[in-house]
A = this chain, B = another copy of it.
Amino acid sequence: MKLLFIVLDGLGDRPIDELGGKTPLEYANTPNMDKLASLGMNGLLHVIGPGITPGSDTAHLALFGVDPFEYYTGRGPFEAAGIGLEVKEGDVAFRTNFATINNNGIITDRRAGRIREGTEELVALFNGMEIDGIKILLKAGTEHRAALVLRGEGLSDKVSENDPHVEGKEPLEFKTLDNSYEAKKTAEVLTKFVLKAKSILSETDFNKKRKEDGLLQANYFLIRGAGQVPKLPNFEKEYCLETACIAGGGLYKGVGRMLGMHIIEDSRLTGGTNTDLKVKFDITYKALQDYDFVFTHIKGTDNFSHDGKPVEKAKFIEMVDKEMKRFLPDNIERDLVIMVTGDHSSPCSFKDHSADPVPIIVYSKDCRKDDVEKFGETYAARGNLGHLMGKDIMGIALNEMRLVHKFGS
């Protein structure tokens, strides 16, 4: 028996007047999700815990049974792993942007004009550099983004960022967040690196050319999201499942990679609102032949929430629903366990994450189905699963797969 786990990012929402007091999920016409809900078990999922608003990183750790309170150190490691920078336990990883700084030391653009091309060439100037015995690893991500890793002895993630988060200001100083020697050293290395990088970047032909072309120079690094790379449980070993991770966003791939999942790389897998959902689910369908467990992440729902667009969110959910038809028990020969949920709620009225629980369906052919007939926040509250914690759902899925790990004898 195989497991398909579909996560719609930021799925959960709140009643919205514009939708007649329904949530986008309740408002959407979702015959296939409704079919699954009616054949399966429904509940409300507190991804980290009741009243706790999850970040995207902590949420996914929790969904995979990894306690974020124990393992989460910061977003850097997952972003770095997501773009394929191989991180090692003890490394301190950061998210970084190419930015534009002017001669007066003012950040004039936090994203260097959303530069798209040429950042691989720029990071190559620094990759492998050593500062005070600490090795610098740098890898370009999408657009202006890159991941920075410091590798060596005596580092710490207890350092603040240099990103002022607004333009027209100087970059911030790196500050230590505790009194440790390690934090002090890390802040010093970062300070030296940023200074050195500024002078190197400004001298590149690449940036001179951008200047001539009237483009913003990529001449500064804004660095944030420090996290010391934790030793995470290996997902495949822990659960004995060959696992595929199908996602667009780097963060989700990073979490998967750090948990030992196989990342399916395909340039058509993007994490936006206009992602090709047919392709994503074609790849998912195929992965179910090769893997025991397929995790498919869909980002668009959350994007519409952040933009405060409930009707568009509902329409997007309908597009996802359409692609899910092929996995319904009548349409697939294989015995599948299917879980559908969100990583957190993102009410369109908040335009941000919230602590509201997300609805979840857990389906298997002989599960204890309840009388919920539609997939939605209100309906799920009456389902057989009741209120669940994120950390519990892998165990529940494994039980449906009959992969029993008895505790005791």
Is the CB–CB distance between B55 and A408 below 8 Å? yes
Is the CB–CB distance between A408 and B68 below 8 Å? yes
Q: A384-B381, A386-B381 in contact; A14/B367 too (CB < 8 A)? A: yes
Which listed residue (B14, B56, B395, B398) contacts A408, Cβ 8 A? Answer: B56
Is the CB–CB distance between A51 and B392 below 8 Å? yes
Is the CB–CB distance between B378 and A53 below 8 Å? no
How far does the alpha carbon of A356 sit from the alpha carbon of B354 in the complex, in Å? 30
Question: Contacting chain B: which of A42-50, A103-111, A148-156?
Answer: A42-50
Whether a CB of chain B sits under 8 angstroms from the CB of A389 is yes
Whether a CB of chain B sits under 8 angstroms from the CB of A59 is yes
B contact residues around A406 at 8 Å (CB): 53-55, 352-353
Whether a CB of chain B sits under 8 angstroms from the CB of A194 is no
Per-position binary interface string of chain A over residues 7-22, scored 1 when its CB falls under 8 Å from any chain B CB and 0 otherwise: 0000000111000000
Is the CB–CB distance between B408 and A50 below 8 Å? no
Whether a CB of chain B sits under 8 angstroms from the CB of A267 is no
B contact residues around A127 at 8 Å (CB): none
B contact residues around A407 at 8 Å (CB): 48, 52-55, 58, 68, 72
B contact residues around A136 at 8 Å (CB): none
Whether a CB of chain B sits under 8 angstroms from the CB of A349 is yes
Q: Which residue of B lies closest to A395 (CB)?
A: B51
Most buried by B among A59, A393, A409: A409
Which listed residue (B377, B399, B408) contacts A58, Cβ 8 A? Answer: B408
Whether a CB of chain B sits under 8 angstroms from the CB of A405 is yes
How far does the alpha carbon of A384 sit from the alpha carbon of B387 in the complex, in Å? 9
B contact residues around A381 at 8 Å (CB): 368, 370, 383-384, 386
Interface set, chain A 348-368, CB cutoff 8 A to B: 349-350, 352-356, 366-368
How far does the alpha carbon of A57 sit from the alpha carbon of B44 in the complex, in Å? 31
Whether a CB of chain B sits under 8 angstroms from the CB of A369 is yes
Which residues in A have some Cβ–Cβ distance to B below 8 Å?
14-16, 23, 44, 48-59, 68, 72, 75, 225, 347, 349-350, 352-356, 366-370, 377-378, 381-384, 386-389, 392-399, 402, 404-409
A-B pairs with the 9 shortest C-beta distances?
A51-B395, A55-B408, A58-B408, A355-B399, A50-B392, A386-B387, A51-B396, A381-B384, A55-B409
